[in-house]
Amino acid sequence: MDQYTLNLLFVGASFALYIGIAIWARAGTTGEFYAAGRGVNPIMNGMATAADWMSAASFISMAGLIAFVGYDNSTYLMGWTGGYVLLAMLLAPYLRKFGKFTVPEFIGDRFYSQTARIVAVVCLIVASVTYVIGQMTGVGVAFSRFLEVDNTTGLLIGAAVVFFYAVLGGMKGITYTQVAQYCVLISAYTIPAIFISLQLTGNPVPALGLFGEHSESATPVLAKLNQVVTDLGFNEYTAHDGNTLNMVLFTLSLMIGTAGLPHVIIRFFTVPKVADARWSAGWALVFIALLYLNAPAVGAMARLNITDTMWPNGVQGEAVSLEAIQNSEELDWMRTWEQTGLLGWEDKNGDGRIQYYNEGSAAIAGFAEERGWQGNELTNFNRDILVLANPEIANLPGWVIALVAAGGLAAALSTAAGLLLAISSAISHDLIKSAINPNISEKNELLAARISMAVAICVATWLGLNPPGFAAQTVALAFGLAASSIFPALMMGIFFKRINNTGAVAGMVAGLGVTLVYIFLHKGWFFIPGTNSFTDAEPLLLTIKSTSFGAVGAAINFAVAFAVARATEAPPRHIQDLVESVRIPKGAGAATADH
């Protein structure tokens, strides 16, 4: 059976499974649409949360960014996992105890202000829409290669699948679909990693193989990788070569952004009790760790395989020839990925070979000039393709390649569905029902939620055609926006009784506004086609990049909120008592909310 047919079978079977689950678990009430009827088992919810959390950025893009940068991009691992611990310890149980359907609903009630609720809706939409762009980018990348369609067609197919099961099932359908998607994506990530680890190190555990010996050279894997990349003029893979301030702020931005992401927070509203929210968080960490422990090994081993592909006889030998690329079965992956526009090369010096090296390195300049090289000839290697192409680079069986295709799509679609639900819930429940038409019937509110989700899918698909960066980079911007706007409001709402409605609103507006302006000045106005850039302009404030500015925005949010709250009247006594009651844990008791 040819590879294309295998891809169709695996992807088609996974889509049929998701749609079947959606039909079985379709939502009939707003309670089921928003919170799955609050009846989800903690282990199931932990698995669904893991799928919701491990997006296209985690599955498709993160290992690629680590592979091409090395140690400095381990910030993605540290920030995302550390942030989940913050969420599990500081926010999830208390928000579940408060017992609302949405994040803006909590902010509106806690700060006794309709204005605060609407501002929270705006913050949620801005962060979630930015995040979902990264997911749609991942969908386009996966479809364009494995189903051999262009990026636009791939996005439209993915959007149609999400539309069906998210609009029909709401949180109830999405929850059980995400359980299935987790099983698909973790299998698709782990199995190729095991194969490749066995090939390179003889160790079936990738995380251990990374610190083992390279089978061919009998040297440690990381030492071997450091040698080959420095021979090509790149920085040592394990060395820190970036700016420490930016690295710290970026990690912090990812951490607090994680804890402020509404599509993850609302997963904790689906369990019966406060204790179940804590157990859900624990199980989710276990399920997430199964992928995150393998990601550094996947990135490092993929970088070794790419180097071996480009320099089959070693760095001191000859680079891969154009003839081999055109005729070798082992290099078929280069030809197929070239057709997607995500991989490209150019024989600049006309020697019939493709030299891959760092043309900006002074250490290799003399060597390159002596050999007549005219610059790096691997002109395009989109980092989002690395995990998807990895099984092909390593010449793994066709069924493994097809499984990875299904896994990449599962990762992107699971998170996209969660984000779209957060957006539609905020619009229908917090905007339409709360501010525009408080007397709306449950039937019409459910209809409004489904229409809101359909519109959100259309907007996300359009923006996905023009992303401001690789999938993980775009997601990092979303984390910065959540960090600067939602996280401080939640933290102050739970732990600081003195913060009033005026302070909370002023803080959210200041944090979000400053961060948005800084991002746009760096990245371009990415919702206008043709004006964005995958790279930052020169930093405006010290050495802080746009993806790291969320931590600064959060500090501004806190500072403004505290200053304004101190200068204005304290919250009413009943609000302060409410905060106290939410913060005092009641262990395994039932949640206090009526709905």
Confidence of residue 585 (pLDDT cuts 50, 70, 90): low
303 or 56: which carries more pLDDT confidence?
303
In DSSP terms, 213 is beta-bridged to: 220
pLDDT at 501: 95
Question: DSSP H helical segments within 202-271, as ranges?
Answer: 206-209, 221-231, 244-259, 262-265
241 or 512: which carries more pLDDT confidence?
512
The amino acid present at 207, given as its one-letter code, is A
pLDDT at 390 over 60: yes
Q: Hunting for tokens 């699948």 — which residue is that? A: 161
- What is the DSSP track for 130-164? HHHHHHHHHHHHHHHHHS---HHHHHHHHHHHHHH
What number of other Cβ atoms are within 10 A of residue 390's Cβ? 28
Between 130-134, 259-263, 285-289, the lowest mean confidence (pLDDT) is in 130-134
170 or 539: which carries more pLDDT confidence?
170
pLDDT at 540: 62
Which positions ≥6 away from 286 have C-beta within 8 Å?
46
The amino acid present at 527, given as its one-letter code, is F
Percent of the chain having pLDDT more than 90?
29
Are 94 and 583 contacting, i.e. CB atoms less than 8 angstroms apart? yes
What's the sign of the alpha-carbon dihedral 84, 87, 90, 96? negative
Q: What is the pLDDT of residues 60-103, one digit of tens each?
A: 778 888 888 888 888 888 888 888 888 888 888 888 888 777 88
133 or 284: which carries more pLDDT confidence?
284
Give the residue among 464, 404, 451 at the shortest CA–CA distance from 153: 464
pLDDT at 478 over 70: yes
Q: Hunting for tokens 């709306």 — which residue is that? A: 440
Confidence of residue 536 (pLDDT cuts 50, 70, 90): low
- pLDDT, average across residues 157-181: 79
- pLDDT, average across residues 374-386: 86
Which backbone phi and psi does 368 adopt, to 5 degrees?
A: -65, -40
Confidence of residue 528 (pLDDT cuts 50, 70, 90): very low
pLDDT at 588: 41
For residue 352, give Cα distances in angstroms to 318, 319, 322, 460.
11, 9, 6, 43
Which backbone phi and psi does 261 adopt, to 5 degrees?
A: -80, 120
Q: b/e per residue, 295-330, with b = 16+ CB within 10 A?
A: bbbbbbbbbbbbbbbbbbeebeeebbbeebbeeeee
241 or 561: which carries more pLDDT confidence?
561
Give the residue among 416, 481, 457, 528 at the shortest CA–CA distance from 142: 416
In the chain, the domains with their CATH numbers are: 3-301+394-583 (1.20.1730.10)
Give the DSSP H or E segment for 519.
helix 501-523
CA pair distance 75, 383, nearest whole angstrom: 16
Between 148-157, 484-493, 532-541, the lowest mean confidence (pLDDT) is in 532-541
pLDDT at 475: 74
- What is the DSSP track for 390-425? HHHHTT--HHHHHHHHHHHHHHHHHHHHHHHHHHHH
Confidence of residue 449 (pLDDT cuts 50, 70, 90): confident
* Highest mean pLDDT, choosing among 236-240, 272-276, 523-527: 236-240
Confidence of residue 452 (pLDDT cuts 50, 70, 90): confident
pLDDT at 360 over 90: no
- pTM comes to 0.81
pLDDT at 524: 55
- pLDDT, average across residues 100-108: 86
Are 295 and 77 contacting, i.e. CB atoms less than 8 angstroms apart? yes
pLDDT at 171: 79
Write the DSSP symbol of residue 217. Answer: T
Confidence of residue 506 (pLDDT cuts 50, 70, 90): very high
Write the DSSP symbol of residue 272. Answer: S
